[in-house]
Amino acid sequence: MKKNKFRLLVLGCTLLTGTLILQACKKSFLDAQPYGQYSSDLISNKKGLDALLVGVYGVLDGQGVTSTWAPSATNWATAGVCADDAYKGTDANDQPQMTEVEQYKSQPANPYFYDKWLAVYEGVARANAVIKQANDPKVVLTEADKKNILGQARFLRGHYHFEAKKMWNKVPYIDEATTAYTNAEDIWPKIEADFKFAYDNLPETQDLQAKANKWAAACYLAKTYMYDKKFTEAKALYDIITVSGKTANGSIYGLQDAYWKCFDANFENTGEECFGISMAASGTVDQSGETSLGLAFPYGGDFGCCGFFQPSQNLVNSYKTSAAGLPLFTTFNDVDLKNDQGLKDAVPYTNDIVTPLDPRLDWSVGRRGVPYWDWGPHPGYSWIRDQAYAGPFSPKKHVFSKKDETTLTSSGWKNITAKDIYLIRYSDVLLMAAEAEIEVGSLPTAQAYINQVRARAKNPASWVQGAPANYVINTYTVPFASQDEARTAVRFERRLELAMEGVRWFDLVRWGIAAETLNAYLAKEKLKRTYKATAIFTKGKNEYFPIPASIIDIAAKYGNKLDQNPLY
């Protein structure tokens, strides 16, 4: 120990003609703060704690902890590709770990789950560091500032534990006082406690848009109640959230007037964004943009890479409507909507302009002949890496528009963009509120919530202008006849509204219908995608992913016990 201190002393002292002049050193040098760390003095006030909070927000997108797409906030590379909304995409040889996930053959050694675990628990650790420091008696804070800082830190700790819980179910809850842990208990109550603290202590507005406020906490708390099947508590909170006047830091909660605006960077920071991840664009966005979705762009054209996360035919079919403009709940997948499978760009092709369609299809899916943002019509074959393997469709919602190519994209890899990621949109809130009403409230109220969402999609301003499509959509005018009918309606609506946004898989699991829905999906997919021939969803196993084997081993090394999920 003395030797180490002396070596530090030598490095910090003045050297003259080879002679060590000890008098040139200050005694305080012996206590110098290591590079890359804040000194306790710097973080013992509001400014320092605000800086620490930036770090907690900084891993919301999963980046900076690992360098892969696995920790994405949308979970597209794990939960996204194993739902019925999307295929892994690209070709058969690319990212076999993702193919494993898509086929429900995930193993505890799959590095995707290790990377995701590291990211969420890094977020937990950073939040706990803020909480511990803010509660230190030596830290000088006003009561209001302390509540705000602790409220944000506990909100974020709740978010990271929520991510872990919905991925693995059996996960440890770690707070600022934890010295030993297991995954034996259900941690929903502790997640709820974090969000409840945030709801009770955060202000209604913040000085920066990206910070969590009281109403973001309310939305997350209500969502947690829904996952925990506390429908009465959720309904009571949604009754408050959905009353006009709640603010998303300056913008009153409400739906955008046109659906596409939810995914256009020029309409960010509005009342639709209840909570999201704000990306920056200053000079180059390489270090401040969204990188985890970089593979999930069309393979050709101005994008050049990489053809992952392709929408499924099943998802496309779900947007077919009746002549009355309502969903085809049980028959939507009987016949595929026409597509350009196997046709090269030069081969003439015309879209089906007769079948009635929900216009949200063409903002969720890129398909041949339909305008793809402002890039012109999607050309089809040349934008797909391997149609025979993963179908003819491209993702769209998170892809940048041509007008934003130089201002919101990287100067290097353009697939790094400064488009925000919405973690909770207001339409998500309305449809969750409808679910709560169906379970413990009023079917007419639930129908009104659903109709708000459908009315926005019905607005011609929400349609892709110039699309070769027959858009027919209407609201529900006949009252729901039963609770089951209402459940079917809201569950289908969530798929249509929130497709490709990281919601579908977790909805199926929390509704308890993942096995029946996904095995029915596979029965038809195996006729189109031969690589799915041996895929099967095993009830009681595949609802949750395997806990990384290396994490279990590391926990045991330090005297902690983590049990693996069933059947892995």
Question: pLDDT tens for residues 523-550?
Answer: 999 999 999 999 999 999 999 999 999 9
pLDDT band at 412 (very low <50, low <70, confident <90, very high): confident
**CA gap 368, 381 in Å, rounded:** 8
CA count, 13 A, side-chain hemisphere, 122: 18
pLDDT of amino acid 436: 98
Domains of the chain: 2-31 (no CATH), 45-202+509-568 (1.25.40.390), 250-502 (1.25.40.390)
Higher local confidence (pLDDT), 41 or 69? 69
Closest residue by Cα to residue 216 from 276, 301, 138: 276
Residue 256: Cβ within 10 Å count: 22
**DSSP bridge partners of 308:** 89
| Percent of residues, the chain, with pLDDT higher than 70 | 91
Closest residue by Cα to residue 219 from 169, 265, 272, 280: 272
| Percent of residues, the chain, with pLDDT higher than 90 | 81
CA 184 → CA 109, 379, 395, 564, distances in Å? 21, 52, 39, 10
CA 266 → CA 389, 419, 490, distances in Å? 35, 9, 29
The model's pLDDT over 272-324, given as tens digits with 9 standing for 90+, comes to 999 998 876 555 556 667 888 999 999 998 887 999 999 999 999 999 999 99
The model's pLDDT over 325-351, given as tens digits with 9 standing for 90+, comes to 999 999 999 999 999 999 999 999 999
pLDDT of 13 > 70? The answer is: no
- HEC readout, 450-494: HHHHHHHHHCHHHCCCCCCCEECCCCCCCCCCCHHHHHHHHHHHH
pLDDT of amino acid 40: 65
Closest residue by Cα to residue 365 from 389, 337, 327: 337
Pairing of the two strands 421-425 and 14-16: unpaired
Collapsing DSSP to helix, strand or coil, 41 comes out as coil
CA count, 13 A, side-chain hemisphere, 442: 7
**CA gap 210, 248 in Å, rounded:** 10
| Mean pLDDT across the chain | 90
Structure tokens belonging to residue 197: 């603290």
The number of residues in the chain equals: 568
What DSSP designation does 130 have? H
pLDDT band at 413 (very low <50, low <70, confident <90, very high): confident
**CA gap 520, 499 in Å, rounded:** 19
pLDDT of 248 > 50? The answer is: yes
C-alpha R_g of the chain: 25
**C-alpha angle 147-150-151 in degrees, rounded to nearest 5:** 75
Looking at residues 33-44, what average pLDDT do you find? Answer: 56
| CB 462, CB 260: distance < 8 Å | yes
pLDDT of 20 > 70? The answer is: no
pLDDT of amino acid 220: 98
Structure tokens belonging to residue 253: 């909660």
Collapsing DSSP to helix, strand or coil, 154 comes out as helix
pLDDT of 387 > 90? The answer is: yes
The model's pLDDT over 74-131, given as tens digits with 9 standing for 90+, comes to 999 999 999 999 999 999 999 999 999 999 999 999 999 999 999 999 999 999 999 9
The one-letter amino acid at 319: Y
Backbone angles phi, psi at 3, to 5 degrees: -60, -45
Torsion (CA) 337, 340, 341, 343 in degrees, nearest 10:
160
| CB 469, CB 339: distance < 8 Å | no
**CA gap 168, 368 in Å, rounded:** 38
Closest residue by Cα to residue 234 from 451, 421, 510, 495: 510
Backbone angles phi, psi at 21, to 5 degrees: -100, 95
Looking at residues 472-482, what average pLDDT do you find? Answer: 98
pLDDT of amino acid 132: 97
Backbone angles phi, psi at 88, to 5 degrees: -55, -40
pLDDT of amino acid 256: 96
pLDDT band at 25 (very low <50, low <70, confident <90, very high): very low
Residue 558 CA to its chain's centroid (Å): 32
Collapsing DSSP to helix, strand or coil, 127 comes out as helix
Residue 525: Cβ within 10 Å count: 22
The model's pLDDT over 171-222, given as tens digits with 9 standing for 90+, comes to 999 999 999 999 999 999 999 999 999 999 999 999 988 899 999 999 999 9
Percent helix, strand, coil in the chain, to 5, is 45, 10, 50
Structure tokens belonging to residue 61: 């997108």
pLDDT of amino acid 560: 97
The model's pLDDT over 489-530, given as tens digits with 9 standing for 90+, comes to 999 999 999 999 999 999 999 999 999 999 999 999 999 999
| CB 541, CB 567: distance < 8 Å | yes
Omega prior to 306 cis, within 30 of 0: yes
pLDDT of amino acid 246: 87
CA 308 → CA 45, 86, 390, 477, distances in Å? 45, 9, 9, 39
